[in-house]
Structure 1
Amino acid sequence: MLLNTTLRDLERRAAALSLPNQAVIDGACVDALSGATFDNPGPRDGKLLNQVAACDGADVDRAVAAARRAFEDERWRGQGPRAKKAVLHRLADLMAAHADELALLESLDTGKPLHDAANVDIPLAIGTTRYYAEALDKVYGEVGPSPADRISMAVHEPLGVIGAIVPWNFPLHMAMWKVAPALAMGNSVVLKPAEQSPMTAIRLGELALEAGLPAGVLNVVPGLGAVAGQAIGRHMDVDMVAFTGSGPVGRQLMVYAGESNLKRVSLELGGKSPQIVFADCPDFEAAAQAAAWGVFYNQGEVCTAASRLLVQKDVKDAFVARVVEIAAGIAVGDPLDPETRFGAMISERQMATALRYIATAEAEGGELKIGGGRTRLETGGYYVQPTIFDGLNPGSTLAREEVFGPVLGVLSFDTPDQAIALANDTVFGLAAGLWTSDLSLGHKAAKKLRAGLVWVNGWDACDITMPFGGFKQSGFGRDRSLHALHKYADLKAISITLR
């Protein structure tokens, strides 16, 4: 229903929204103790959306204290699986009932097409909540092969207080990748959304209370990463930090963990993902569409973006020409327009970063095939054209560094061994893909690619049932699937001697 209307109607609905701007701590919506706020501009037009509570160390202290009280008195973890499941399903029901509101908030906050927020982001967040609601009673312990006079068991127990620090590219979806399994295992959570996209996380905290989640079990502390994020990372009473974001921040969180209470850290830190097209590609058009949308979806602001396209020389010119043709048909538009599939970048800073990488690629001799600049300047928003560079040197900046924007670099290869070597020639290892009709080659290449996710004859061809995470400097720990539940639990051995 949301998308079956006009842009003008959607603008009116957006203008009428109540924009969330407070922290959610210990069951109440509150301002920061200092009274401080930060500006939250909209990427669509660069205008101020609202001012949001700027939580600092004092606010994190009270959120962590509330989470610890809730954990220790067992108001949540002490409930049985059926009761927890019912609350999480009620939360999913409320998210579904407010799906239009959440999609509008997400689009306004991030600049992503409302079409994607409504059809992808919010439904996936709801689905993740339901998945872990159903999964929480599927976690079993073990009975050990003990002597006759002893019973030995290994049981899973929640860790305690989880600090979840989530990114701005898929705010609610990424939040639920962490919040849902952490809650399912009986933990309390302090959620810190990115300052660029705080609104759906705050609304989530409000809906969780309405769903019956006890006060203090889920706290939301908006604020600047260097302040609120650091306070979570350094906190002596946070048992684990689950983070998705940049490599430098991930490294800093590990330092904070070592300097504080040796809290556990789970990191997903992005990538420079290769998509390899062999000459025997089974579906030329599908591969070309995947090559284009693998990097241009969500304006390239995707940690698994296929930002390196490796094409075998026999088909490279024809293949790249088709990808360029597809890119030429991608219209950069108003995120609230139901027809838009490519919107604004998250911020002026991120737009400037993408433009800087484009300038560097040109200076280093890359052949600009399409795009290369800012667009829709009259709106005041942060829009960059879909951009493709051919003829990259494997050592060039664009071939090695993550842009997190709509910029594709093309390299060529002769043999499968060269393709694998090029694909693995990066400090990252989040995702990789390949297209071939040779089943043997597909199997061998998938095993040799150093990445946490590998797709053969498809891109991003996975869902909540499969683990998500990387190798090398893309981090460690897994979101999604049943594996995520174990991340938020500890394993305790109990032995009972029979007398």
Structure 2
Amino acid sequence: IAEPVTCVPGAESEMSSSGTPDLPVLLTDLKIQYTKIFINNEWHDSVSGKKFPVFNPATEEELCQVEEGDKEDVDKAVKAARQAFQIGSPWRTMDASERGRLLYKLADLIERDRLLLATMESMNGGKLYSNAYLNDLAGCIKTLRYCAGWADKIQGRTIPIDGNFFTYTRHEPIGVCGQIIPWNFPLVMLIWKIGPALSCGNTVVVKPAEQTPLTALHVASLIKEAGFPPGVVNIVPGYGPTAGAAISSHMDIDKVAFTGSTEVGKLIKEAAGKSNLKRVTLELGGKSPCIVLADADLDNAVEFAHHGVFYHQGQCCIAASRIFCGRINL
């Protein structure tokens, strides 16, 4: 939060008493442009023709209707992702440094649209606008640039062994990765999942949370603008029991990553095992402690413990929902 904030050109902003730019005023005339399914760098209607409403949770106002993807739409997205991952495709033949350049470009585009994305994240998810702009968007931009730097630094090893042999290891991308995003940090979790996957050369099929799909769909437009080849990133909004389940059990998805509840995580792991035994990464419910040592500044500890459990109304994977406290003499 302490980092200097550069106001978006053309955005109205308040000035602090020191004369430095402060948080820009959020957009009051937000225009939602992208509500369709994103496959192969193109926008698609759902196969079923269904749509679902997206709301502002603070006012219960319907913001728009979004195309509702299901199993058939996931199939289309997986085919596009698999085609983009084929040997000889533009993505597979691309230099690693070029993958990094595309990720840097995506970070620049998100920085350009930072005000719009922060406003959208606040209106669609009920998140404090200041948190969205100062924390979430700043973190997304830095994460993409970090992942961009790794693209050409993924190295294998040469192993000295006895005899007339040459032994080495190399790291290769896993393949098509299914990624299921939660509603509490929609944009952050999207970037945390696609950034490393794309840096390593994978292709992805993403299902954003049905409550908060709008920033993911806007980022899809930026992925195309950045120059990623068709099929590398595909985004299918929809519900967990349909689109999410189709990703978890799909026979041509090589890995699934999910952030959400323990209950749903168990279902995803079971579906992955019963299908093609795909790899699974799960970030589920936690019980993070706040540790207060006996010699701590008690006033400071109380303030940070309060922040730790109530940040983002407690809807945070590392919310400090319990306290380990040493013996403190009051």
TM-score (norm: length of structure 2)? 0.90
State the SS of the aligned residue for 1:158.
Answer: coil
The residue that corresponds to 2:115 in the other structure is: 100
Residue number in structure 2 paired with 1:118: 133
Q: Name the CA distance, whole Å, in 2 between partners of 1:150 and 1:278.
A: 55
Could you say which residue in structure 1 is the equivalent of 2:91? 76
Partner Cα separation in structure 1 for residue 131 and residue 12 of structure 2? 10
- 2:207 paired residue number: 192
2:49 to 31, 35, 52: 35
Contact 2:30 2:116 in 1 (8 A): no
Does 1:299 pair with 2:308?
no
Are the aligned partners of 1:3 and 1:115 in contact in 2 as well (CA < 8 Å)?
Answer: no
Question: What secondary structure sits across from 1:50 in the alignment?
Answer: strand
Retained in 1: the 8 A contact 2:13–2:25?
no
Which of 244, 262, 269 aligns to 1:229? It is 244
Equivalents in 1 of 2:61, 2:211: separation in Å? 13
Q: 1:346-357 counterparts in 2 under 5 A?
A: none
Q: Please list every run of at least 4 consecutive aligned residues from structure 1 whose deviation after the TM superposition is greater than 3 angstroms.
A: 310-315
8 Å Cα contact 1:145/1:152 also seen in 2: yes
Amino acid at match of 2:98: A
Tell whether the 8 Å contact from 1:166 to 1:194 is kept in structure 2 after alignment. yes
Pair 1:287 & 2:296 matched: no
Distance, in Å, in 1 between the alignment partners of 2:89 and 2:163 is 34
Alpha-carbon distance in structure 2 between the residues aligned to 1:197 and 1:258: 28
1:267 matched to 2:282? The reply is yes
Distance 2:168 2:271 in 1: 34
**Secondary structure, aligned partner of 1:138:** coil
Structure 1 position 180, deviation (Å): 0.6
Q: Are 2:308 and 2:320, in contact at CA under 8 Å, matched by a contact in 1? A: yes
Map 1:135-154 → 2, pairs under 5 A: 135-154=150-169
**What is aligned with 2:186?**
171
Matches for 1:189-338 after TM superposition, within 5 Å: 189-281=204-296, 283-312=297-326, 314=328
Cα gap change, 1:16 to 1:170, in 2 (>3 Å): closer
DSSP 3-state at the match of 1:94: helix
CA–CA distance in structure 1, aligned partners of residues 260 and 52 of structure 2: 20
DSSP-derived class of the 1:33 partner: coil
Q: CA RMSD in A?
A: 1.8
**1:158 shift after superposition:** 0.5
Percent identity over the alignment is: 44
Change (3 A) 1:312 1:150: closer
CA, structure 1 residues 272+149, in 2 after alignment: closer, same or farther (shift >3 Å)?
same
Q: Deviations over 1:263-307 (max 9, x none)?
A: 0000010212121323321x2232122101101111111011011
The higher radius of gyration belongs to: 1
Q: Which runs of 5+ in 2 are unaligned?
A: 1-6, 16-23
SS at match of 1:55: coil
**Displacement, 1:20?**
2.6
CA contact (8 A) 1:77 1:185 kept: no
CA contact (8 A) 1:294 1:305 kept: yes
CA distance in 1, matches of 2:219, 2:30: 19
- TM-score, normalised by the number of residues in structure 1: 0.60
Q: Distance in 1 between matches of 2:79 and 2:224?
A: 18
Cα distance, 1:74–1:153 mapped onto 2, change above 3 Å:
farther
Which position in structure 2 is the counterpart of 1:4? Answer: 13
- Aligned residue pairs total 312
> For the structure 1 residues 148 and 14, does the alpha-carbon distance in structure 2 shift closer, same or farther, using more than 3 Å as the test?
farther
Separation (CA, whole Å) in 2 of partners of 1:95 and 1:121: 11
Residue identity opposite 1:292 in structure 2: H
Tell me, yes or no, if the aligned pair for 2:97 and 2:151 is still in contact at 8 Å.
Answer: no
**C-alpha distance in 2, partners of 1:308/1:82?**
44
Matches of 2:162 and 2:293, distance apart in 1: 57
Q: Name the aligned partner's letter for residue 139 of structure 2.
A: L
Cross-structure match for 1:17: 31
Structure 1 19/291 Cα, relative in aligned 2: closer, same or farther at 3 Å?
farther
Q: Can you list the C-alpha shifts for 1:6-61, whole angstroms capped at 9, x where unaligned?
A: 9xx957x3334225311110110112111111111111211111111110000000
